Amino acid sequence: MKVSPSATPENNLDYRCVSILGATGSIGCNTLDLVRNNAEKFNIIALTGNKNVDLLIQQAREFSPDLAVIGDETLYDELKAGLSDTDIKVAAGSEAMAEAADQPSDIVIAGIVGVAGLAPTLVAAKRGTVVALANKECLVCAGDFFLNEIDRSGATLLPIDSEHNAIFQVFDFNQAGNVDHLTLTASGGPFRSTSLSEMKNITPAQAVAHPNWDMGAKISVDSATMMNKGLELIEAYYLFPVEENQIEILVHPQSVIHSMVTYKDGSVLAQLGTPDMRTPISYALAWPNRLEIPGRRLNLASIAELTFEAPDLKRFPALTIARDTLKAGGSLPTILNAANEVAVRCFLEERIGFLDITRVTEEVLNRTPKSEPKTLDEISHCDEVARVLAEEVVRSLN
């Protein structure tokens, strides 16, 4: 099953109610910046955060949502106290996250990083609303299951990841059979030209310093290993009506061309822009219209040249691991994501080295039998088993 966009209700074109899952992260903050600059077009219904309660309080006081939710239940009292002089309802924990996703908004920004975002995003999908998806794991871990819910409810799925949003803008769903292949572009991360011997000593501080994009620590490390591009490969497979062998990855250090669609007649359609996440977010917020956003405009004359190169699969084995996982299917993409999340966390905690991230992930995949999960509980079980095994593998390296 593949996604094609549903029609947006006419009464939602000029004024929309918005819920943001992951308001305190990069996606959420950029979304609120757009709302701030287009206050006449949007009303915030719900905001959620994980641990950054101070920022969530600040956001809630500015945008006055009906509901503010903190994921960490130990921070509930602090959130409640910080909003005690307002009419904003406050809550905490996973059930409250689901409640936020179920609020009557026209669009839900799914910006929670990792598998933690799957359950609340599913709630939004089942409600049949517009889901603007920045959470790769919904499709990586539960692609068919998630899309079945989208199809069953009649929800509209709009990709926010810059690469998938770029493809969405130039993909002709009415002529999908005329598409030859998709090209996901990658900056190559901060270690595109770093030797393997040097990569052994990469520190977390170096890995989170992305040359083009301002992202959270986990996603920045995924960019540095190029696992993010592997996960995006899996995501693209579920978002667009193409086969795995019709998706290629191309390193483009300038991050100007965000992705391309090549048609059978040789035409290549690309979406270009500055590396600013507000562009794809604004496209989803206003779709099928467009917002005028502040910021630097693309000036090709000043950039002067755009360069491209094939990814180095020896230095970045995550790409091969992800593609092989997609081909194998079943529970393996869920296992891949879980093992990688644990490995990245352990690297950020300085428990393993940079090159160990993909080693841990590959070892977990090799040691975990493939299954065919059909329910959310079965998917969650696969995730939990992989995380336990990943911790065992990490301990064996020390």
Has residue 9 got a pLDDT over 50? no
Residue-wise pLDDT for 48-104, tens only, equals 999 999 999 999 999 999 999 999 999 999 999 999 999 999 999 999 999 999 999
Could you tell me if 340 and 227 are in contact, meaning their C-beta atoms sit under 8 angstroms apart?
yes
Residue 209: predicted pLDDT: 80
As a whole number, mean pLDDT of residues 111-138 equals 92
- Compare 132 and 218 and report the one with higher pLDDT: 132
Q: What angle do CA 76, 86, 78 make, to 5 degrees?
A: 20
In which residue are the tokens 């390193």 written?
A: 251
Has residue 18 got a pLDDT over 90? yes
Q: Which amino acid is at 69?
A: V
Residue 108: predicted pLDDT: 98
CB-count exposure of residue 25 (10 Å: 0-12, 13-18, 19+): buried
CA distance 52 to 242: 39
Mention every residue, 6+ apart, whose C-beta is less than 8 A from residue 340: 222, 227, 231, 318, 357, 361
CA distance 212 to 190: 9
Residue 294: predicted pLDDT: 81
3-state secondary structure at position 260: strand
Query: Which domains can be identified in the chain, with CATH numbers?
Result: 10-160 (3.40.50.720), 166-271+297-397 (1.10.1740.10)
Among 13-17, 70-74, 342-346, the minimum mean pLDDT is found in: 13-17
Tell whether the torsion through CA atoms of 59, 51, 331 and 335 is positive or negative: positive
Residue-wise pLDDT for 256-311, tens only, equals 999 999 999 999 999 999 989 999 999 999 999 999 888 788 999 999 999 999 99
Instruction: Express as a percent the part of the chain with pLDDT over 90.
Output: 85
CA distance 124 to 110: 9
What b-and-e string marks burial along 357-387, b requiring 16 or more CB atoms within 10 Å of the CB? bbbbbbbbbeebeebebeebebbbebbebbb
In which residue are the tokens 């109610």 written?
A: 17
